[in-house]
Amino acid sequence: MSIKLIKGGTVVGPTGAILADVLIDGETIAALYAPGRAPEVEETIDASGKLVIPGAVDAHTHMELPFGGTHASDTFDTGTKAAAIGGTTTIIDFAVQRTGEVIQDGLAAWHGKAEGNCHIDYAFHMIMGGVDDESLKAMDHLVASEGISSFKLFMAYPGVFYSDDGQILRAMQKARDNGAMIMMHAENGPAIDVLVRQALERGETDPIHHGLTRPQELEAEATSRAIWLASVAADCPLYIVHLSASKALDQVKNARDLGKNVFAETCPQYLYLTLEDQLGAPGFEGAKWVCSTPLRSKHETHRADLWQGLRTNDLSVVSTDHCPFCFKDQKELGLGDFSKIPNGIGSVEHRVDLLYQGVVDGKLSLSRWVETIATTPARMFGLFPKKGIIAPGSDADVVIYDPAGRTRISAETHHMNMDHSAWEGWEIDGRVDTVLSRGEVIASGGEYLGRAGRGQYVKRGLSDYLI
Ligand code: URP
Ligand code: ZN
Ligand code: ZN
Ligand code: ZN
């Protein structure tokens, strides 16, 4: 059994930062010692001047997601390797039940894609492509036996993943009974479809119209409707995914002020990028930033409100919603019709860095950075304390982060399977130095040392984040 000591670093957790040495025994953390008090061991890793944080947990990824006639371009191999290099040591990907498919078949297919290919540990949520007697029964089985305790429903995408309000209510009632979390894509899909048709009839075909036909009111309305449906379902726990807009955040705030088990995540793209500057880029360029919910206007207060929501815990988690498509042949499916552009942005490699920039910019504290990218996603989705914390008994998933380092993001150097980057040319004050996954050093000083197949499926328990 290999013993390692991470020495001289500042260990950052959700409750603050301490100078401590971290002893690792095999795959787990054995102890934390005050500086100089640890036993002598053969293998030490010098973390002087660096931050020692729990391996980050990305609770929202879509490797190989089928969408708009194509598939997200990262496989579990390429996507989890990129995640690892960027300091993420666990992903929770969305297994998909296609409409008309049996849930267990969709889940088995997802295990088939991931098994033997992952560089880091992985877990699954389940996308429900339909709510009926059979799938409601399957929810119980997934929670009890398959380690899947969260289910994503869609108020958007009629004809694809969409569930109507009656279906949503039934799934929420079931989740209320079996302890699961309902995750909601909260946008009013039927209303958006009307706006999309009208825009196309007017000849408005450029990527920016993807955003203009998904106004924040339709995100806020769906968010509010989901919250009240969850109330009717005896306060079923509800988690709003990829929240992008101030008015939607207001709905979550109101619910949380009432003490409800309502939570939300946002994503780096909504904290930094905008409708005008990215989605509105000249020609077809904006297709790179077509995602749903869409990027919001820089002339409104969305970005400032989202950063504030992260500080006040009205937004509890930052995930990527990693759903990459290449520009060539994939995003290009929507040339001449924005509604045919596959939806998604790829950022799984960059979330730790992008949020650290929020610390440098004075928008987040160090401990809040760790909480939103690692500890809370682990707690929210039943992975804690195995993941998300540096504590005795936890998996030795550790990132040594160099605050004096610098990261430059480019498609030339990233590891995601994408021919462009949504963050091309971005420079971050900070750098992932070393990454350990269950005690194994898988990245160090820019060199990748891991391998496909070492990542294990993690069965999740119920959320421990509920009020
Ligand atoms: O644009 C996005 N978000 N693509 C992935 C699918 C989803 O709705 O999360
Ligand atoms: Zn089973
Ligand atoms: Zn979604
Ligand atoms: Zn998503």
Whether residue 218 is found in the same domain as residue 283: yes
Q: Please identify every residue whose CB atom is under 5 Å from ligand 3, which is an ion.
A: 185
**In terms of domains, do 421 and 372 share one?**
no
pLDDT at 1 (0 to 100):
62
403 and 316 assigned to the same domain: no
In a domain, 315, yes or no: yes
The verdict on 370 and 442 lying in the same domain is no
Residue 459 lies in a domain: no
Instruction: State in Å: Cα 92 to ligand 2 middle.
Output: 18
Closest ligand to the CA of 140: 2
Q: How many domains, in total, are found in the chain?
A: 2
CA 343 – ligand 1 centroid, Å = 6
In one-letter notation, the amino acid at residue 357 is Q
| Cα 60 to ligand 4 centre (Å) | 6
Q: Which atom of ligand 1 is nearest to the CA of 343?
A: 1
Cα diameter, the chain: 73
Whether residue 385 has a cis bond before it, omega within 30° of 0: yes
One domain for residues 169 and 126: yes
Q: Where does ligand 1 bind, in terms of residues with CB under 6 Å? A: 62, 185, 242, 291-292, 321, 323, 343-344
Token representation of residue 233: 């379902």
CA gap 344, 291 in Å, rounded:
4
- Ligand with an atom nearest the CA of residue 321: 4
Q: Are residues 112 and 227 in the same domain?
A: yes
Asked if the structure places residue 453 within a domain, the reply is: no
Query: Distances in Å between the alpha carbon of 188 and those of 150, 163, 184, 306?
Result: 21, 11, 11, 21
171 and 187 housed in the same domain? yes
Backbone angles phi, psi at 45, to 5 degrees: -120, 120
* Sole residue written with tokens 């670093």: 9
The answer to whether 231 touches 189, Cβ cutoff 8 Å, is: no
Task: Using the mean position of ligand 2's atoms as its centre, give its distance from the Cα of residue 104 in Å.
Answer: 7
| Residues in contact with 393: Cβ distance below 8 Å, sequence separation at least 6, in sequence order | 28, 29, 385
Which of 380, 412, 438 is the last residue in one of the domains? 380
Q: How far is the CA of 290 from the centre of ligand 4 (A)?
A: 13
Q: pLDDT (tens digit, 0 to 9) for every residue of the chain, 467 residues total?
A: 699 999 999 999 999 999 999 999 999 999 999 999 999 999 999 999 999 999 999 999 999 999 999 999 999 999 999 999 999 999 999 999 998 899 999 999 999 999 999 999 999 999 999 899 999 999 999 999 999 999 999 999 999 999 999 999 999 999 999 999 999 999 999 999 999 999 999 999 999 999 999 999 999 999 999 999 999 999 999 999 999 999 999 999 999 999 999 999 999 999 999 999 999 999 999 999 999 999 999 999 999 999 999 999 999 999 999 999 999 999 999 999 999 999 999 999 999 999 999 999 999 999 999 999 999 999 999 999 999 999 999 999 999 999 999 999 999 999 999 999 999 999 999 999 999 999 999 999 989 999 999 999 999 999 999 98
Q: Which residue owns the Cα nearest ligand 1 atom 4?
A: 344
Distance 218 CA to ligand 3 centre (A): 14
User: Which ligand is closest to the CA of 342, given by its number?
Assistant: 1
What CATH number has the domain bearing residue 110?
Answer: 3.20.20.140
Domain's final residue, options 349, 380, 411: 380
Rounded to the nearest whole angstrom, what is the distance from the C-alpha of residue 105 to the centroid of ligand 2? 10
Does residue 266 sit in the same domain as residue 316? yes
Q: What is the pLDDT of residue 67?
A: 93
End-to-end CA distance of the chain: 40
Which residue range is the domain that position 416 belongs to? 3-53+396-448
Residue 279 sits in the same domain as residue 413 = no
From the CA of 107, which ligand is nearest?
A: 2
Q: Does some domain include residue 10?
A: yes
Distance 112 CA to ligand 3 centre (A): 23
- Out of 63, 67, 240, 296, mutate this one to test ligand 1's pocket (max ligand atoms within 8 Å of CB): namely 67
Phi, psi of 92 (to 5 degrees): -115, 110
- Domain C-terminal end among 329, 356, 380: 380
CA of 93 to the centre of ligand 4 (A): 9
Distance CA 368, CA 372 (A): 6
Closest listed ligand to the CA of 67? 1
By the CB criterion, residues less than 5 angstroms from ion ligand 4 are 321
Residue 465 lies in a domain: no
> How far does residue 88's CA lie from ligand 4's centre (Å)?
17
Q: Are residues 40 and 126 in the same domain?
A: no
- Quote the pLDDT of residue 130: 85
Whether 224 is covered by a domain: the verdict is: yes
Residues 270 and 249 in one domain: yes
Residue 264 lies in a domain: yes
Q: Counting ligands in written order, which one lies closest to the CA of residue 102?
A: 2
* In-domain check, residue 98: yes
Nearest residue (by CA) to ligand 1, atom 9, is: 321
Shared domain for 276 and 234, answered yes or no, is yes
pTM attached to this predicted model? 0.98
Q: Give the pLDDT confidence of 331-341 residue by residue, as tens digits.
A: 999 999 999 99
Please report the ipTM that was assigned to this predicted complex: 0.94
User: Which residue's C-alpha comes closest to atom 2 of ligand 1?
Assistant: 344
Half-sphere exposure of 167 (CA within 13 A, CB side): 18
Q: Ligand 1: which of 58, 61, 62, 319 to mutate, judged by most atoms within 8 Å of the beta carbon? A: 62
Residue to probe by mutation, ligand 1, list 58, 239, 323, most atoms within 8 Å of CB: 323
